[in-house]
Chains A and B, each alone.
Chain A
Amino acid sequence: MAARHAKRSPVPAHAGIGLRFPHQRLIAEQHPAAAWFEVHTENYFGGGTRLNYLERIREHYALSLHGTALSLGSAEGLDAAHLKRVAECAARLEPGLISEHLSFSRVDGIYYADLLPLPLTEEALNLVCRNVDAMQDALKRQVLVENPSTYLQFRHSTIPEWEFLSAVAARTGCGILCDVNNIYVSACNHRWDALAYLDGLPPDAVGEIHLAGHAKCVIGGVSVLIDNHGSRVAEPVWDLFDAALRRFGPKPALIEWDTDIPEFSVLQDEAARAERRLRAERALDRISGGGHADAA
């Protein structure tokens, strides 16, 4: 359990939990067991009860700020007002990690409230790097960029997503938030090799791993996986998590659950599952003589 005054404390290489409004009060008042919490940045732009609860929680746990709306892939560049609010939120909460997505959601001043897929081209790569630079300059720190779940690919994409993400990290110095559920979802939808995806990422750049549940939908007679964060982590995603830990070493790992949010104890249970796998990886690493720097 984190000590008081956890501000600025790094997010540990243990299993954290996505903090959602229905659990705020319980956590602020009872300090249940959890290694760290992650919140959606945009939910804390104003003041009021939500922020007051989070500041109380912040005193006891390490925190990660996960943005969903900065739109790093926008051809029109970043929304300066939005970036300023992210910076203000970060200054107030002093999170151990800050992350965003490899996607776009803003076009001609309209916010499309989803993580929309980018054409993976040289032009898009240059643009995303420029926007990540702008974000890191404004926040004066490294950020992590997460791979999205996608349901389509553009004809004119020329760069595999893992190469694109690795290139963004290499050119901007940002880290990678490796969402293994998103890799699994996209790999199933596009017939990619999920393990080859993991092999394509630079281990040192990976700063966090996400775990979540997905849904299987039949659309036009074919089965499509949808990233809905509405259930327990699926078994093949746990397997992919093990493979990611083998390759990257222990990293902060997060349980995300956003629709049909269950009792907090269910999230603790999922986090405990992730923690056992992190522990197993540390043990394996010791037996096999190391090779992974344990960040914990």
Chain B
Amino acid sequence: MPTLLETERAFAAALRSADCAAAGELIAPGLACADEAIAIYRNTFVSGAVKALKLSYPAVERLTGVEFFESAANAFVAISPPSSGCLDDYGAEFARFLAAYEPLRDLPYIADVARLDWAVNLALHSEDAKALAAGEFAGAAAIAPERLVLIPHPSLTVLGLDYPADAIWRAVLAQDDEALGALALRGGPFFVLVWRNADGVQVGRVSQSGFAFLSAVCAGRTFGESFDAAPSPDLPALLAECLAAGRFTGFREI
């Protein structure tokens, strides 16, 4: 008699490969034949994962069309199935997959839109956290820059993109074909911030030095290291903007 683990592994293999031979032998004769009964489960599994990708990548789906998206998503599910029981977590690698997806070779900006879709998905579902107010930041002045660490809001993602994915994303989700047609794809790189504050998910631009500074902050570097990554006279203005926009939750001394 097969063990529970052997049974579960045979069944899982049949869900992933369409090869039901091993699992089929374990299944009692029933109403539907074994292959067809397994296909009911396979369909729920695959369509559930594809639906999760649709929810996380709405702009990519609109840009590529439903049929194309489903085909790409099915291919992705086959090689990179979910590992988390929370499907909001599923699909972090989809942008990388699309960047290498042969049918999209002539549309390289799609992968950048996918990175933005994913950052928005993360921002939608990240933990709640109270933003640091400008007045509360005053206490950080007493800490030496090489000992000061700023804590970014858990929803914050900093993206360096080859294409203006934020403008594409806005036009696509607003179904504004005119704006989409008028977009210039060149002129990169583009530096985009995504975060959530009391007003909801925000998508904004930042300068190259601001991008370097915030990337270092998000990587857990000290204030001193982050500033050295992007020495710029604009830093005080950037900090004030970040505080007003709720991109930090606190600071600590190390």
A binds B: yes
Q: Which residues of A contact B (CB under 8 A)?
A: 42-43, 45-52, 68-71, 73-76, 79, 82, 85, 104-114, 116-119, 121, 123-124, 127, 151-157, 189-191, 219-220, 222-224, 226
Question: Number of contacts between A and B (CB, 8 Å)?
Answer: 145
Contacting residue for B81 out of A110, A152, A156, A191, CB 8 A = A110
**A220 touching B87 in the complex, CB below 8 Å, given contacts A113-B48, A121-B1, A156-B1:** no
Check if A46 sits within 8 Å of B127, measured CB to CB.
yes
**A220 touching B36 in the complex, CB below 8 Å, given contacts A74-B8, A123-B4, A155-B26:** yes
**Interface size range on B against A:** 35 or more
Check if B86 sits within 8 Å of A157, measured CB to CB.
no
**A157 touching B124 in the complex, CB below 8 Å, given contacts A42-B86, A119-B4:** no
Of A46, A121, A156, most buried by chain B (CB within 10 Å of CB) is A46
B83 located at the interface, meaning its Cβ lies under 8 Å from any Cβ of chain A in the complex: yes
**A110 touching B8 in the complex, CB below 8 Å, given contacts A189-B30, A219-B40, A224-B31:** no
**A113 touching B31 in the complex, CB below 8 Å, given contacts A48-B124, A105-B85, A123-B4:** no
What residues of chain A lie closer than 8 Å to B1, measured between beta carbons?
Answer: 121, 156
Check if B88 sits within 8 Å of A112, measured CB to CB.
no
The 3 lowest CB-CB distance pairs between A and B, nearest first, are A69-B85, A47-B128, A46-B125
Residue of B nearest to A220 (CB): B36
Docked complex: B177-207 residues within 8 A CB-CB of A: 196, 200
Check if B3 sits within 8 Å of A222, measured CB to CB.
no
Check if A222 sits within 8 Å of B5, measured CB to CB.
no
Of A46, A104, A121, A152, most buried by chain B (CB within 10 Å of CB) is A152
Mark B71-87 against chain A: 1 for CB-CB distance below 8 A, else 0: 00000000001111111
**A47 touching B126 in the complex, CB below 8 Å, given contacts A106-B85, A108-B12:** yes
14 A-B contact pairs sorted by A residue (CB < 8 Å): A46-B127, A47-B126, A75-B8, A82-B85, A105-B85, A112-B45, A114-B41, A114-B48, A116-B11, A117-B41, A152-B34, A153-B27, A154-B27, A191-B31
Q: For the complex, what is the distance from the CA of A74 to the CA of B85, rounded to whole Å?
A: 13
What residues of chain B lie closer than 8 Å to A156, measured between beta carbons?
Answer: 1-2, 7, 26
Check if B27 sits within 8 Å of A155, measured CB to CB.
yes
Contacting residue for B28 out of A47, A75, A155, A224, CB 8 A = A155
Contacting residue for A190 out of B30, B33, B129, CB 8 A = B30
Q: For the complex, what is the distance from the CA of A110 to the CA of B15, rounded to whole Å?
A: 11
Mark B124-148 against chain A: 1 for CB-CB distance below 8 A, else 0: 1111110000000000000000000
Check if B82 sits within 8 Å of A111, measured CB to CB.
yes
Check if B3 sits within 8 Å of A45, measured CB to CB.
no
What residues of chain B lie closer than 8 Å to A112, measured between beta carbons?
Answer: 12, 15, 41, 45, 81
Check if A45 sits within 8 Å of B36, measured CB to CB.
no
Q: For the complex, what is the distance from the CA of A251 to the CA of B220, rounded to whole Å?
A: 52
What residues of chain A lie closer than 8 Å to B25, measured between beta carbons?
Answer: 155
Check if B85 sits within 8 Å of A121, measured CB to CB.
no
Mark B105-133 against chain A: 1 for CB-CB distance below 8 A, else 0: 00000000000000000001111110000
CB distance from A167 to the nearest CB of B (A): 16
B32 located at the interface, meaning its Cβ lies under 8 Å from any Cβ of chain A in the complex: yes
Of A85, A111, A123, most buried by chain B (CB within 10 Å of CB) is A111
CB distance from A72 to the nearest CB of B (A): 12
